[in-house]
Amino acid sequence: MKKPHKVLVIGGGAAGLVAAVAAGRNGAEVIVLERMDRVGKKILATGNGRCNLTNINIDLKRYHSSYPKFVKGVLNQFNLHQTLDFFEQMGIAYKIEDAGKVFPMSEQASSVLDVLRYELQLLKVQEECNAEVIKIQRKNNQFVLSLKDGRKITGDKVILATGGKSSPNLGSNGSGYELVIPFGHKLISPFPALVQLVLDAWFLKRLKGVKFDGKVSAVADNNVLQTEFGEVLFTEYGISGPPILQLSRKAGEILHQKKSRPYIFIDVFPDLSEDQIENMILSRFSYHPEKSIEFSFVGMMNKRLIPVILKEAGIEDLNKSCAQINAKERKNIVNILKNWQIPIKGTQSWMQSQVTAGGIDVRDIDPNTMESKLIPGLYFAGEIMDVDGDCGGFNLQWAWSSGYIAGEVAAKA
């Protein structure tokens, strides 16, 4: 009888745990090596603690990579329906919410981690926490992993599921890249994605905490890179909110390339045309021409926005009466409300980002098996690769799909 493969999974996050389950189900002896004091910390943080499992609108357009073709094969092999069945059979009842987001009915990310760990226990998968791998060597068709504490662990196959650089407090600090670069794998330079934007503007402290439903676009070289709708939140460093996180990938890429400067364009009243806004302003002015220009907008927008909008429109004297405002000044106000242009200076740090753009170049990985084309027996899963998805469950789907394939193939090959 053939001796089962000993599969070493480096990283106990979403991709690593599913890889361990798949390998265990296929007869392998599995050890999960996690550098933190417990597995699954990032799973617990996803979806604001609810775990946005996946999205029913899985589409290749929602994923980004230097080699996008790679994504298709992986998502087709372990698809949305297989993912939902996988979790349902382990006990996760699910529900579908806005924009196709899938959440556990329990509303608890901890339940997802609980069922995964229960499955690992059934499969007799060994969990080793506080086990940081600092070197991988290949000797006599086996892998030898050197740990920071001096231990060495030997196995037949290795699955690298160490994540990217986002949220290092939850376990992923980019250390996985250094483990495989000596084997010839190339790194597509990583940068933070799904992250708040840092703006270059004088008024940020004044607007801290102001939020509204608007339309935002990322623009560079007069080209609109992406447009999103939703709740926009000003912060002391810049701007946040769901639409900003979605835009941040495109904006971050431009910043990372350093070829041009991106801007954020804000439409404060996306449901109204410029003519409609101008007519509204004219009506308000005609009702009370004696009112100060600043006070005339009370009731139309957030009060803290008013002086900033007026100053951005070039109106310095906020005590001027409505009757004193000329047509050009009025047009300037309308233009700011519909096309407020603010330079993007950067993004928040890795600590605030939800996902890593860039990573290990997927052209050296077989999409059918997740195995390295350079080192037989070495597999990849999850965010360590140069693949990232939009906000809304797409990144977890990537983790589940790539992890399951890697685990299954590593156990059987």
Give 288-312 pLDDT, tens digit per residue.
999 999 999 999 999 999 999 999 9
- Which of 243, 246, 147 lies closest to 194, judged by CA? 246
Crossing angle of helices 69-77 and 394-412, rounded to 10°: 70
Instruction: Give CA separation, 58 vs 79, 98, 202, 203, 325, in Å.
Output: 9, 14, 40, 39, 51
**DSSP letters along 133-174, please?**
EEEEEEETTEEEEEETTS-EEEESEEEE----SS-GGGT--S
Q: What's the pLDDT score for residue 1?
A: 53
Q: Provide long-range contacts, Cβ within 8 A and 24+ apart, for 251-259.
A: 251/197, 251/218, 251/220, 251/225, 251/344, 251/347, 252/191, 252/192, 252/193, 252/195, 252/347, 252/357, 253/191, 253/357, 254/218, 254/220, 254/225, 255/191, 255/344, 255/346, 255/347, 256/189, 256/191
Burial bucket for residue 287 (CB in 10 Å: 0-12, 13-18, 19+): exposed
Q: Is the pLDDT of residue 413 over 90?
A: no
Please tell me the distance from the alpha carbon of residue 259 to that of residue 265, in angstroms, as a whole number. 19
Give per-residue pLDDT as tens, 102-131: 999 999 999 999 999 999 999 999 999 999
> What are the backbone angles phi and psi of residue 16, rounded to the nearest 5°?
-65, -40
Structure tokens at 389: 């998805």
Element spanning 356, H or E:
strand 355-360
CA distances 50 to 185, 319, 393, Å, are: 35, 48, 11
User: Hey, what CATH class is 6-191+356-412 in?
Assistant: alpha beta
Residue 206: which residues within 8 A CB-CB, separation 6 or more? Answer: 304, 307, 308
**pLDDT of amino acid 148:** 97
Comparing CA positions, the residue from 88, 63, 66, 89 lying closest to residue 76 is 63
What pLDDT, on a 0 to 100 scale, did the predictor assign at position 308? Answer: 98
Bridge partners of 217, per DSSP, are 227, 265
Instruction: Report pLDDT digits (tens) over 128-148.
Output: 999 999 999 999 889 999 999
- For 23, counting Cβ atoms within 10 Å of its Cβ (0-12 exposed, 13-18 middle, 19+ buried), the class is buried
Q: How confident is the model over 25-47, as pLDDT tens digits?
A: 999 999 999 999 999 999 999 99
Q: For residues 112 and 337, give the distance between their C-alpha atoms in angstroms, rounded to a whole number.
A: 44
Q: Where are the domains of the chain?
A: 6-191+356-412, 196-347
pLDDT exceeding 70 applies to what percent of the chain? 100
Cβ-based neighbours of 376, under 8 Å, separated by 6 or more: none
* pLDDT of 224 above 70: yes
Beta strands (DSSP E) in 237-352 are 238-240, 263-267, 340-347
Mean pLDDT of 179-191: 97
Q: The sheet that has 101-104: what strands, in order across it?
A: 54-55, 101-104, 94-96
Residue 19 pLDDT level (bands cut at 50, 70, 90): very high
Q: Using the 8-state DSSP alphabet, how is residue 62 labeled?
A: G
Residue 2 pLDDT exceeds 80? no
Backbone angles phi, psi at 37, to 5 degrees: -80, -5
The pLDDT value given to residue 4: 84
CB atoms within 10 A of CB 286: 10
